[in-house]
Amino acid sequence: MDAIIWENDSLRLLDQTKLPRSIEYIECNDYRTVAEAIKRLAVRGAPAIGAAAAYGLVVGARQIEAADRKTFLEKLEAIAGELGATRPTAVNLRWALDRMMMRLTTAPEQDVQELRRIMLDEAHAIYNEDVQSNRKMGEFGQELLPDGARVLTHCNAGALATAGYGTALGVIRAAHEKGKQISVYADETRPLLQGARLTAWEMVQEGIPVTLITDNMAGYLMAKKMVDCVIVGADRITANGDVANKIGTYGVAVLAKYHNIPFYVAAPLSTIDMGLSSGEEIPIEERDPREVTHHAGQAMAPDGVQVWNPAFDVTPNHLVTAIITEMGIVYPPYIENLAKICGYKK
Ligand code: MRU
């Protein structure tokens, strides 16, 4: 099931808010439709929102009326700003938009139509490279999973969260494809249930054994020695190896440390933000209180109650056993080893 489809010269996004009840695609003929889809998590997951925004910019470029390159690029910059402001935490969003703009500003072409064509090629490249990265991550990461491993994951870092195959679930898929007997525990992931609705769905579709638990069961599961390792994705990793990911990830990492269980993060280099030195600098998105007080339109809490609803948390680097990337597995000390893998000179 593809989260993002470019077909017949137009963009369609799978509405993940409807899963697993129904499979519906959103036709995107306006970049604002793409921005809205990202905001309300119809398309979600760090690499997927990067790729969706790149295609959204292509859609926006077609809406621009401009005869010359300068006017075209100015208007495009404004659209990129709107798309980039939809969600603050996943750095892949800004990374993809910057890459699109950089490709154009360094292109010598003057003709606007020609620039639009270059943009589509670049969006396809971002999409295709993401699938390739995930496959490579899978290949490297599966080495960490012994035959028979029982793997706990949080949120959804699968095909739905990427251009395809997935990061954390890509590693699980790769181990499964190698013939290893892998089973998965999926945290349901309150408040929006990406684990229950999306991860469990992906695993069931694929025939990979999966057991759904509520978030508050993870500690007892570990205490009962029913988990061999944890693998999650990431929305942003800072230069020192701190990891922002779906709210609840930090709690799982603390529990894993306490129980001596390896805690792995799988993420492409596009998720690593070498511009930030630690997780404290990562902007954390806060979302609508109704996501916490309501479920399926029904109130579950009294009117007027105060709510705190951060969508992500930060796991400090000392709780992370290794980071799996498309270039290989990175171990501590992250400050040195992430710099090396990202090609930064000390
Ligand atoms: O709010 P979401 O559903 O976009 O959050 C997604 C996550 O936290 C994922 O774990 C992360 O983006 C990695 S996706 C490969």
Angle between helix 69-84 and helix 112-141 axes, rounded to 10 deg = 40
Residue 216 assigned as binding residue:
no
Q: Is it true that domain 144-342 has CATH number 3.40.50.10470?
A: yes
Query: Does residue 95 have a pLDDT over 50?
Result: yes
How many residues comprise the chain? 346
Q: What residues are paired with 151 via a beta bridge? A: 184, 229
Mean pLDDT, rounded, for 324-334: 98
Q: What is the dihedral of CA 312, 50, 134, 173, to 10 degrees?
A: 60
Q: Is 163 in the pocket of ligand 1 (CB under 6 A)?
A: no
| pLDDT tens-digit map of 285-308 | 999 999 999 998 999 999 999 999
How far, in Å, from the CA of 231 to the mean position of ligand 1?
13
| pLDDT tens-digit map of 147-198 | 999 999 999 999 999 999 999 999 999 999 999 999 999 999 999 999 999 9
How far, in Å, from the CA of 161 to the mean position of ligand 1?
6
Mean pLDDT, rounded, for 222-248: 98
Residue 45 assigned as binding residue:
yes
Q: Is pLDDT larger for residue 343 or for residue 254?
A: 254
In whole angstroms, what is the distance from residue 97 CA to residue 92 CA? 9
Q: What are phi and psi of 183, to 5 degrees?
A: -125, 155
Query: Which strands, in side-by-side order, build the sheet including 25-28?
Result: 4-7, 10-14, 25-28
Position 284 scores a pLDDT of 98
Say if residue 64 is exposed, middle or buried (CB neighbours under 10 Å; 0-12, 13-18, 19+): middle
* Kind and range of the H or E run holding 43: none
Q: Which atom of ligand 1 is nearest to the CA of 44?
A: 4
Q: Is 270 in the pocket of ligand 1 (CB under 6 A)?
A: no
Q: Are strands 243-246 and 298-299 parallel, antiparallel or unpaired?
A: unpaired
Residue 147 annotated as catalytic: no
Residue 8 assigned as binding residue:
no
Hey, which of 165, 245, 324 would you mutate to test ligand 1's pocket, going by the most ligand atoms within 8 Å of its Cβ? 245
8: left (phi over 0), alpha (psi -120 to 50) or beta: left
Q: Are strands 210-213 and 243-246 parallel, antiparallel or unpaired?
A: unpaired
Q: Is 153 in the pocket of ligand 1 (CB under 6 A)?
A: no
Residue 194 assigned as binding residue:
yes
CA count, 13 A, side-chain hemisphere, 202: 29
Q: Is 189 in the pocket of ligand 1 (CB under 6 A)?
A: no
* pLDDT category of residue 109 using cuts at 50, 70 and 90: confident
Whether 189 contacts 157, CB under 8 Å: no
Mean pLDDT, rounded, for 218-240: 98
In whole angstroms, what is the distance from residue 194 CA to residue 187 CA? 9
Q: What are phi and psi of 146, to 5 degrees?
A: -70, 160
264: left (phi over 0), alpha (psi -120 to 50) or beta: beta
Q: Which atom of ligand 1 is nearest to the CA of 167?
A: 15
Whether 68 contacts 112, CB under 8 Å: yes
Position 1 scores a pLDDT of 85
Query: Does residue 345 have a pLDDT over 80?
Result: no
Residue 46 assigned as binding residue:
yes
Q: Is 155 in the pocket of ligand 1 (CB under 6 A)?
A: yes
Handedness of CA 184, 185, 190, 196 (dihedral sign): positive
In whole angstroms, what is the distance from residue 153 CA to residue 169 CA? 8
Mean pLDDT, rounded, for 272-296: 97
Mean pLDDT, rounded, for 34-48: 98
Q: Which atom of ligand 1 is nearest to the CA of 49?
A: 4
**Smallest CA separation from ligand 1 atom 10, residue:** 233
Given the residues 15, 187, 235, 273, the one annotated as active site: 235
Give the list of residues 6+ apart from residue 71 with CB closer than 8 angstroms, or none.
Answer: none
One DSSP character per residue, 70-130 reads HHHHHHHHHHHHHHHTS-SS-HHHHHHHHHHHHHHHT-----HHHHHHHHHHHHHHHHHHH
Average pLDDT score, the chain: 97
Note the ipTM here: 0.99
Positions of CATH 1.20.120.420 in the chain: 4-135
Position 346 scores a pLDDT of 44
Q: Is 92 in the pocket of ligand 1 (CB under 6 A)?
A: no
Q: Are strands 183-187 and 150-153 parallel, antiparallel or unpaired?
A: parallel
Rounded to two decimals, the pTM is 0.97
Fold of the domain spanning 4-135: Four Helix Bundle (Hemerythrin (Met), subunit A) (1.20.120)
My answer on whether omega of the bond before 191 falls inside 30° of 0, hence cis, is: yes
Q: Is 44 in the pocket of ligand 1 (CB under 6 A)?
A: yes
Positions of CATH 3.40.50.10470 in the chain: 144-342
